[in-house]
Amino acid sequence: MCTLTIIPALAHHSPARLVMSRDEQRSRARALPPRIIEPGPHANVPHRIMPTDPQSGGTWIALNSAGLVFALLNVNPPADVAAPRTARPTFSRGVIIPHISTHTTLNRAASAALALDFDRFPPFRLIITDGTQLIELVSSINGPTLHHTPNLSAPFFATSSGLGDHHVDQPRRDLFNQLITSAKPVDRPEAQAAFHLSVFNQAPQISVLMSRPDASTVSITAVDLHPTRLVMRYHEVDDQFIRSASRGDQAEPTRTHTLTLDRQSDAPSLPPSPPAASHCEPPRSALRP
C-alpha cells in the first residue's frame, strides 16, 4: 500500500527526485528508520540506505551509492482475478530489495530481479531507477513482465492499496496528472510535495495521504539524486499530521531522518544541479519546497 512518484532531473535547478508514501495497517509495528548499511571489508558492493520493516526484516525502498533507487509496491488485483491460494510457502516481498540492491547497474539489478522465484512471492511491482532510466518489473498471476524506460523525461507514477489497486489508481493518477504532469518542469518539485500531502476530504480512504479505521499513511520518503551526493529523507507521519494536511495547515512530521551517501566515483552522473537547493529542506511539513 504505497504511492510512488518520480520527477526527472532539471539541469541547474533540481536533482532527480523520488518520493514514496507508505500506507500500512495500524496493527503493524512501526518501521525502523533508515540506516546506512556498509559493505564488509572484502565485499565489492555499494553502501546502502534503507528503512526496515521489523515484521519481515525487509524493506520497501532503498538507495545505494551507485545512485540506484529501489522501490516496491504490492499488487492488489480485483478479487475475481486474484491468484488462488497455493500450498507453496511464500516469502515476504520485503526481502526482494535487500537481495537485489547490492547491484550497481540497472541491468544487473534487473537480471537479479528476473532470477527470483516469482511463485514464492505475492504479486508486486518493483521500480529501479537512476533518475535517467527506469526499470519496472511487475509480477502477477500471469508471470513477470518487465518494461524499460531508457530516457526518463516525464514524471512517473505508481500506486497500490489494500482496498484493491483499481479503487485508488484513477483518482490518484488524475491528481498526479493535474498537479505534476501538467506543471512546468521547474515547478514540479513543489507540485510533487503538494501531491503527497493531498487528502480527499470526502474520501480519505483513497487519498494519497490516506486514513481509514484499519490503515493510514505512516511515512513519506524522499530521495534526491544529486551529481555527487545522494540523499534520503524519511518522514514519519501520524494521524495528527494527516488531519493538519487535510485542513491545509502546516503539518510537521513526527520525526525526520536524513542520511547522505557520496556517489561512487565510477557511477553514472546526472545533469548538474546546485549543491544545496532549497527544496531539499522544505519548511512546510515533510516535502514542501
Asked whether the beta carbons of 86 and 80 are under 8 A apart, the reply is no
Q: What is the pLDDT, as a whole number, of residue 288?
A: 55
Q: What is the pLDDT, as a whole number, of residue 266?
A: 62
Asked whether the beta carbons of 135 and 106 are under 8 A apart, the reply is yes
- Is 285 inside any structural domain? no
- Is 188 inside any structural domain? yes
Cα separation, 150 vs 273, in Å, equals: 21
Least confident of 57-66, 83-92, 203-212, 250-259: 83-92
Q: What is the pLDDT, as a whole number, of residue 11?
A: 74
Quick one: how far is CA 19 from the chain centroid? 5
Nearest to 126, CA basis, from 105, 164, 95: 95
Cα separation, 38 vs 207, in Å, equals: 37
Q: Is the dihedral of CA 124, 129, 131, 133 positive or negative?
A: negative
- Is 112 inside any structural domain? yes
C-beta neighbour count of 275 within 10 angstroms: 10
Q: What is the pLDDT, as a whole number, of residue 280?
A: 31
- Is 102 inside any structural domain? yes
Alpha-carbon dihedral 147, 150, 154, 160, rounded to 10 degrees? 30
Cα separation, 149 vs 172, in Å, equals: 22
Cα separation, 212 vs 86, in Å, equals: 30
Q: What is the pLDDT, as a whole number, of residue 1?
A: 81
- Is 287 inside any structural domain? no
| Mean pLDDT confidence for 199-228 | 96
Q: What is the pLDDT, as a whole number, of residue 161?
A: 95
What letters, b where the CB count within 10 A reaches 16 and e where it falls short, cover 103-134? Answer: bbebeebbebbeebebeebebbbbbbbbbbeb
Alpha helix segments (H runs only) across 75-213:
96-100, 106-114, 165-176, 188-196
- Is 289 inside any structural domain? no
Cα separation, 150 vs 99, in Å, equals: 24
CA-to-CA dists, residue 260 to 56, 60, 71, 287, angstroms: 25, 18, 18, 17
13 or 189, which is more confident? Answer: 189
Q: What is the pLDDT of residues 54-107, one digit of tens each?
A: 998 999 999 999 999 999 999 998 876 655 555 565 899 999 999 999 999 999
Cα separation, 173 vs 186, in Å, equals: 21
Q: What is the pLDDT, as a whole number, of residue 85?
A: 53
- The yes-or-no verdict on residue 289 having pLDDT over 60 is no
CATH number, domain of 222, equals 3.60.60.10
- The yes-or-no verdict on residue 271 having pLDDT over 60 is no
Cα separation, 22 vs 208, in Å, equals: 10
- Is 183 inside any structural domain? yes
Q: What is the pLDDT, as a whole number, of residue 268?
A: 53
- The yes-or-no verdict on residue 169 having pLDDT over 80 is yes
Range of the structural domain that residue 147 is part of = 2-280
- The yes-or-no verdict on residue 272 having pLDDT over 80 is no
142 or 106, which is more confident? Answer: 106
Number of domains in the chain: 1
- The yes-or-no verdict on residue 138 having pLDDT over 60 is yes
- Is 288 inside any structural domain? no
Q: Whose grid coordinates read 474520501?
A: 203
Grid cell locating 76: 492488489
CA-to-CA dists, residue 6 to 30, 42, 201, angstroms: 25, 34, 25
Q: What is the pLDDT, as a whole number, of residue 277?
A: 30
Asked whether the beta carbons of 159 and 168 are under 8 A apart, the reply is yes
Say which residues have a Cβ less than 8 Å from residue 278's Cβ, sequence separation at least 6: 289
Asked whether the whole model's pTM tops 0.85, one would answer: yes
